[in-house]
Amino acid sequence: MGLVDRLQENNIKVFGPTQQGAQIEASKSWAKALMEEAGVPTAKSQTFTEAEAAKSYVASQGAPIVVKADGLAAGKGVIVATTTQEAQTAIDTLFREGFSKLIVEEYLVGEEVSVLALTDGLTIASLLPAQDHKRIGEGDTGSNTGGMGAYSPAPIATPELMQRIEREILKPTLEALRKRGIDYRGVLYAGLMISPDGEPKILEYNCRFGDPETQAILPLLETPLDELLMACVEQRLAELPLRWKSGSSICVVAASAGYPGTYKKGVAIAQIDKAEATGATVFHAGTKLDETGLVTDGGRVLGIVAVGETFKQASDRVYQAVDLIEFDGKYCRRDIGRKMMNY
């Protein structure tokens, strides 16, 4: 909505992209065009403004296939369709929900990884890679959500692969933004698919710290965050090295029963202090205070985070904290980061 532009006009320092730069998340079709300009590897796609044209494209491509709303959709605008019928239904649903433009994209096989990078418009610095768990069900089953948990660092993104991602994806994207006259200072969040043979492709960009990956990444950051953000704003990021703590970090989302569908609000939450007494950190997402105390006010209610020297230690700690928190209908995935066991 141009908040950064307004603040800059009033000489207020602000970390984040201008309205022009924020289109990288606000419009998937704009972002796709930018990716093509930058020559970065991404999924083959087409943009549609009419349901029938989108449906006939789906029929010609077959399934599995991905249907995406062009605009912001609170983490629920992406449908991975396993059949052409499912894709046709998704097209009808998204147009009916008021989206004027859709992207139909090839389905990429592999493992997803999130790379959040800080940039001052000239230099780009990647944070530790993380892996989100988008599906509601264990074993990555069921509907897509805004994210049911994340862990960092994600070992699939080896130091060598991270160098490639910076060189072949992040830096060319920043250069393409600059060529368009966009001074992008903020977070450039790359959602990536790593193919079985180790090739990275960009799925989408966000223009902010991603949820729940940020909750898992930042507890491992040793360089003071405020110094990093100010360095981005003042275009001196190159002077500030990123330092990290050793170990692993896990964020588990405690959600309301029924999410991502319909769910109750106003359910009493208890024992957060007990969870935090174990050393975990509890981030509030869908909560509010009413006259009775703390209650649920969203689908994803809390993000519970723990850090450990080993992944197992972090996992044991986070689930110990999760289990102490009480609210009726509390749901969480018990397999956040289980893929780590394969490394």
User: Both 258 and 322 in a single domain?
Assistant: yes
pLDDT at 79: 87
Looking at residue 343, its pLDDT comes to: 53
Q: What is the mean pLDDT of residues 110-125?
A: 96
Tens digits of residue pLDDT in 269-309? 999 999 999 999 999 999 999 999 999 999 999 999 999 99
What are the strands of the beta sheet with 248-255, ordered from one edge? Answer: 131-132, 149-152, 248-255, 300-308, 281-284
Res 311 pLDDT > 60: yes
Q: Is 292 exposed, middle or buried (0-12, 13-18, 19+ CB in 10 A)?
A: exposed
> Does 260 have pLDDT greater than 60?
yes
Same domain? 225 vs 305: no
66 and 180 share one domain? no
Tell me how far apart the 2 most distant CA atoms of the chain are, in Å. 56
> What is the arithmetic mean of pLDDT over 41-62?
93
Say what the pLDDT of residue 340 is: 72
Does residue 157 lie within any of the structural domains?
Answer: yes
pLDDT digits (tens, 9 = 90+) for 18-49: 999 999 999 988 999 999 999 999 999 999 99
pLDDT higher at 217 or 72: 217
Contact 190, 123 (CB under 8 A): no
Domain boundary among 239, 268, 303: 239
Give the per-residue pLDDT at 51: 92
What is the per-residue pLDDT for 56? 93
Whether residue 39 is contained in a domain is answered as no
The reply to whether 155 falls in a domain is: yes
CATH number of the domain at 57, please.
3.30.1490.20
Residue count of the chain: 343
Verify that 122 and 185 share a domain, yes or no: yes
- 122 shares a domain with 81: no
* Same domain, yes or no: 158 and 224: yes
Mean pLDDT of the chain: 94
| 34: in domain | no
Final residue before a domain boundary, out of 106, 125, 149: 106
**Spatial distance between the Cα atoms of 214 and 210, rounded to a whole number of angstroms:** 6
Q: Would you place residue 98 in the very low, low, confident or very high pLDDT band (cuts 50, 70, 90)?
A: confident
What would the DSSP string read from start to end of 8-24?
HHTT----S--HHHHHH
Same domain flag for 17 and 154? yes
DSSP 108: P
Q: Which amino acid is at 138?
A: E
Percent of the chain, pLDDT > 90? 90
Q: Say what the pLDDT of residue 339 is.
A: 77
- Residue 42: the pLDDT is 94
Checking if the pLDDT of 74 tops 70, the result is: no
pLDDT confidence bin for 73, thresholds 50/70/90: low
pLDDT at 341: 65
40 is a domain residue: no
* 226 in any annotated domain: yes
As a whole number, mean pLDDT of residues 156-160 equals 95
Same structural domain, 128 and 59: no
- Tell me, yes or no, whether 153 and 8 share the same domain: yes
Q: Is the pLDDT assigned to residue 6 strictly greater than 60?
A: yes
Domain total in the chain: 3
Greater confidence (301 vs 343) lies with: 301
Question: What does pTM read for this prediction?
Answer: 0.89
pLDDT, tens only, 217-253? 999 999 999 999 999 999 999 999 999 999 999 999 9
Structural domain that includes position 99: 45-106
Report the pLDDT averaged over residues 331-343.
83
| Amino acid residing at 120 | D
**Are 99 and 124 in the same domain?**
no
Res 338: pLDDT: 84
CATH code, 262: 3.90.600.10
Same domain, 22 and 145: yes
In a domain, 33, yes or no: no
Q: What is the CATH number of the domain that holds 9?
A: 3.30.470.20
Calculate what percentage of the chain has a pLDDT beyond 70.
98
Domain end position, chosen among 221, 239, 257:
239
CA angle 240, 242, 244 (to 5 degrees): 150
My answer on whether 63 and 209 are in the same domain is: no
38 assigned to some structural domain: no
Which letter, b or e, does each residue of 24-33 get, where b requires 16 or more Cβ atoms within 10 Å of its Cβ?
bbbbbbbbbe
